A and B are shown apart, each in its own frame.
Chain A
Amino acid sequence: MAEQFQASARRWLYTTNHKDIGILYIITSLFLFAAAGVLAITMRTQLSTPDNSILNANVYNQFVTVHGLLMIFWVLSPLAFGFANFIIPLEIGCRDLAFPRLNSMSYWFFLFSGVMMILSFFFGAAPDLGWTLYSPQTAAQFSPSIGLNLGAGALILMVVSITMSSINFLVTMFKMRAPGLKLRYMSVFPWAILVTIFMMLYAFPSFLAAVVLLYVDRAFGTVYFSSIQGGSLLWDNVFWFFGHPEVYIVLFPAIGVIADIIPTFARRPLYGSKYVIGALIAAALISFVVWGHHMFVTGIGIASTKLYTVTTIAVSLPFDVIVISLIETLGFAKLRLKAPALFALGAVANFIVGGITGVFLASVALDYALRGTYFVVAHFHYIMVGASIIGLIAGLYYWFPKITGRMYDEKMAKVHFVLSMIGFQILYFPMFLLLDMPRRIVTYSPQTDWGLLNLTATLGGFIFGGAQLLLFYNLYRSSRVGPPSGPNPWDAWTLEWALPSPPPPHDFDVIPTFSTDGTIRFGSSAGLPNGSDHSKEIGYPNGSSIGSNSSLHLEGLSPWPILMAFAAFIFFLGLTIGKPANPQPVSYEPFWPLIADGVILGVISLFGYSREKFTVHEDVHVESWPFKQVPNMKLGIWTFLGAEVIFFGVLIGSYFFVRTNDAAWPPAGTLFEIRNGFAMTLVLLTSSLTAIMALASARAGNRSGLIASLGGTLVLGAAFLYIKAGEWFSLGSSGIFQNYSLPATSYFITTGTHGVHVFAGMCMTVYLLANAIKGKYVNGDQTTLEHFGLYWHFVDIVWVFLFPLFYLI
């Protein structure tokens, strides 16, 4: 018994298998769905009658904020990525994601970030300013509780998790598709995930930069958001640049699920599927130029409001294509009204209402009237809950048999659907009528006529919330005692249904091949298209238990991802739970023992991670357009650097923003000495030369040249940081610290962030140098050196821009 428990604990804590990680994501996000739901029900109870006092304003604000943050970041996307983890490799015909240990680390970062967010309730107060964290209310002087620091730390960890996931999925989907599976043959769900990841990759670094700037403002007294030149408008830009794509990030996976489900249950192919995919891509691209419509009331100028009105209306058009396509698919179909189909149809109906009411808000005049009212609350809940959550619940029922090998209780699922849809409409439709009720207020006076509508909404909230208990019970019970589902209970057409339910740990005995006519072949035995039971044909072990441990699976265990995530968690805990050090301006003293523990554990984990023998095979006989000649790891590094471009782009953009908004900026050479900047530039450029010479030496088999070049890179990196530190101390001795002025703030934070990158590069150089001394790299494999170079030269490129911006203009 104890041995069984030990084996099970080892499996779930150390797993790197995509299906296990998918299940972990799904279960965790459902728990957090329940937690965020309890917060919502409590808020609705508070608002059910006028002058209610169940919650005081302080607690109510915390509930509003944490409810929003949890639902958006820790429920919607993780639930979708639970499906993506489990289903995408099965659907595109590969055995796991490109970087299994990174996938495991993504999950544990996500889990610990959620723990940190919930912990914020126990440290003074949780974040209490709404999920948009509008500045300057988030400034330390207005929100001195360290709960907000914890919230910022949680968000940073969460973005790190998402960035790792994005890189992993992009490389997997571009580089590891089964032979013959061209991008254009992928079904809509993988496409929706691919487009979602694209948006995540480029939107989340902006959010990361925003939260980092918020954190340094709070912790170190910098003045990005408390200055007039930066302030609320700077926050609005960096937040909403991420925030609007985020709406589609949480919506697209649900659209993908729906677009896989409706054709399956209508027994017709998706009408105009290529147009649907085109519409997803178009909406994703346009989503990066619509963020200003969240800022119509901030005085952004006529030209901007016109532009954002046009782009906002434009972004609604691709969704029309998607909805029309789904409706056309249903035309004359003999629809099988099983639970997944019902929830998918319900999600489409809700999406139409939520989408149309969103177009209203593209109008500047209407936005002025409706902004900050319950109309907006109703609109985005029709999208977030009505379309996304309901759509993802459709996915839960749809893939439940594949994940567990058992059927859920169909009758209970249908009751769940009816109660959910009725409860949802009673909950949210009255909010459209509360046109004049401000959102986020804790109570209201009896003189308003809002009482009846609020009471109705609360009743709907209880019906909707209660209905979800049926979902949890159904899933829990059916996973234990539900009847066996067989491999393909829906007669579905995508590849995952050709495998047993649940699939074996290694997924495929033989990697399938896709033919242009839609036929899927396994090895020499021809599979039949469109829902035939391939598994019997090729002899998969039907009925294998989800808890089984094959040797293939056990090979994939690694303790380092969870340890690295835990190290990051306690490091950020140390950074964020320190006591206030200064009352004015408020700043915080970090809790150094925890930080030290985090660093030590992080170094040990990193060392273990790098020493662990964990082989991931790169299959060459796969479909990998458009990156056929680019190895997986190199594509991963370039993708990571793409995210870094956005991160530094936002830091530099913020500098531009405050700089061009400030007429009294000190001229070049008065605050930061040009000769220091010039010297650092020379040093860093030379280090780039030595880094490339290290690679050239290794390729030429020149060991001493390699060691000398790497040593040179290390010394030059140290010299760069030495000059930088000298400059910082010199400024400090003149009384110029990060909180001195906006020029000082932007200088210390931007060059400091760059300095951290240089330091990270130096740590890598030490590792490479140690290996080079042992004789590595000169006899064949230089890829690690090459990958290091990509990073180091990128850091150099960033400085190439920082030098003129901070020292010459």
Chain B
Amino acid sequence: MNTNYLYLLVFAALIGETDVEVNLRSIFQAENVFVTVLLGIAGTKAILIAMYYQHLRYEPKSLSTWVIIGLVIASLLMGLSFVQLHVGHP
């Protein structure tokens, strides 16, 4: 596929997903589910940008792994802080 078309296709997907995000509240009433789905969509948008606009899809796997390590460490901070606040309290 012509790379310009691919870039446009990715752009269309990003805009479409953004539109879905804005209209998602009417589908999911439960706050936890809503936030989870919303962050899931944001995650897929980020992956699309990283894979196709930052060309991570075409880079060696070692580079993707390098990026993922940063994400895992950031997630650890958020995840464990959340556990501190909300898990195991009487």
Contacts and interface: CB of A to CB of B under 8 A. Distances in A.
Interface in A222-245: 233, 237-238, 241
B25 A668 contact: yes
Contacts of B49: 688, 793, 796-797, 800
Contacts, number: 162
A741 to B, nearest CB: 20
A605 to B, nearest CB: 29
A237 B86 contact: no
A635 interface: yes
Nearest to A308: B80
A646 B24 CA distance: 28
A797 B73 contact: no
A639 B66 contact: yes
B46 A797 contact: yes
Interface centre among A301, A650, A804 (most CB of B within 10 A): A804
Interface residues of B, number: 52
A634 B39 CA distance: 29
A237 B84 contact: yes
A686 B35 CA distance: 25
Q: Which of B3, B14, B24 has the most CB of A within 10 A?
A: B14
A627 B60 contact: yes
Nearest to B79: A653
A648 to B, nearest CB: 8
Contact of B70 (A202, A301, A652, A693): A202
Nearest to B14: A685
Interface in B1-47: 3-4, 7-8, 11, 14-15, 18, 21-22, 24-25, 31, 34-35, 38-39, 41-42, 45-46
A650 B77 contact: yes
Contacts of A657: 81-82, 85
Given A629-B60, A652-B78, A292 B84 contact: yes
Candidate in A652, A660, A793 with the most chain B CB atoms within 10 angstroms: A793
A800 B45 CA distance: 7
Given A626-B62, A645-B74, A674 B22 contact: yes
B54 A794 contact: yes
B82 A289 contact: no
* B contact patch SS: helix
A608 interface: no
A303 B88 contact: yes
Interface in A368-422: none
Given A650-B77, A653-B78, A300 B67 contact: no
Contact of B85 (A202, A661, A691): A661
B63 A635 contact: yes
A630 B70 contact: no
Contacts of B34: 809
A454 interface: no
A302 interface: yes
B70 to A, nearest CB: 4
Contact of B84 (A288, A304, A629, A635): A304
A237 B22 contact: no
A607 interface: no
Contacts of B7: 689, 692-693, 696
Residue among B59, B77, B80 with the most chain A CB within 10 A?
B77
A789 interface: yes
- Residue picked from A202, A648, A668, A686, most chain B C-beta under 10 Å: A202
Contacts of A660: 82, 85-86
Contacts of A692: 7, 52-53
Contacts of B15: 682, 685
A227 to B, nearest CB: 14
Contact of A301 (B8, B41, B69, B83): B83
A789 B41 CA distance: 23
B24 to A, nearest CB: 8
Nearest to A657: B81
Q: Report whether over half of chain A's contact residues are helix, strand or loop; otherwise say mixed.
A: helix
Contact of B54 (A206, A288, A635, A790): A790
A649 B78 contact: yes
A638 interface: yes
Contacts of B4: 693, 696
Interface string A634-674: 01001101110110111011001100110000001000001
Given A301-B84, A794-B54, A809-B38, A202 B25 contact: no
A638 B84 contact: no
A627 B77 contact: no
Contact of B74 (A292, A639, A653): A653
B18 to A, nearest CB: 5
A696 B11 CA distance: 15
A692 B4 CA distance: 9
A461 to B, nearest CB: 37
A616 interface: no
B70 A645 contact: yes
A803 interface: yes
A645 B68 CA distance: 10
A413 to B, nearest CB: 41
B77 A653 contact: yes
Nearest to A802: B42
Interface string A236-266: 0110010000000000000000000000000
B88 A681 contact: no
Given A241-B77, A646-B74, A685 B18 contact: yes
A500 to B, nearest CB: 36
Contacts of A688: 11, 14, 49, 53
A265 to B, nearest CB: 36
B8 A689 contact: yes
A681 B18 contact: yes
Nearest to B34: A809
A592 interface: no
A307 interface: yes
A480 interface: no
Given A301-B88, A646-B74, A678-B22, A801 B80 contact: no
Contacts of B50: 793, 797
Contact of B83 (A303, A639, A797): A303
A346 B49 CA distance: 53
Contacts of A628: 60
A789 B82 CA distance: 33
Contacts of A804: 21, 38-39, 41-42
A627 B83 CA distance: 36
Contacts of B76: 288-289
Contacts of B11: 685-686, 688-689
Contacts of A238: 77
A302 B88 CA distance: 5
A627 B63 contact: yes
A596 interface: no
A288 B69 CA distance: 12
Interface in A670-713: 674, 678, 681-682, 685-686, 688-689, 691-693, 696
Given A629-B60, A635-B63, A804-B42, 5 more contacts: A289-B76, A660-B82, A668-B25, A790-B54, A797-B50
17 contacts: A202-B73, A627-B63, A638-B66, A638-B67, A646-B70, A648-B74, A649-B73, A652-B78, A653-B74, A686-B11, A688-B14, A689-B8, A793-B49, A796-B53, A800-B42, A801-B46, A808-B21
Closest 10 CB pairs of A and B: A649-B74, A303-B88, A301-B88, A642-B70, A626-B62, A645-B70, A653-B78, A300-B84, A302-B88, A689-B11
Interface of B: 3-4, 7-8, 11, 14-15, 18, 21-22, 24-25, 31, 34-35, 38-39, 41-42, 45-46, 49-50, 52-55, 59-60, 62-63, 66-67, 69-71, 73-78, 80-89
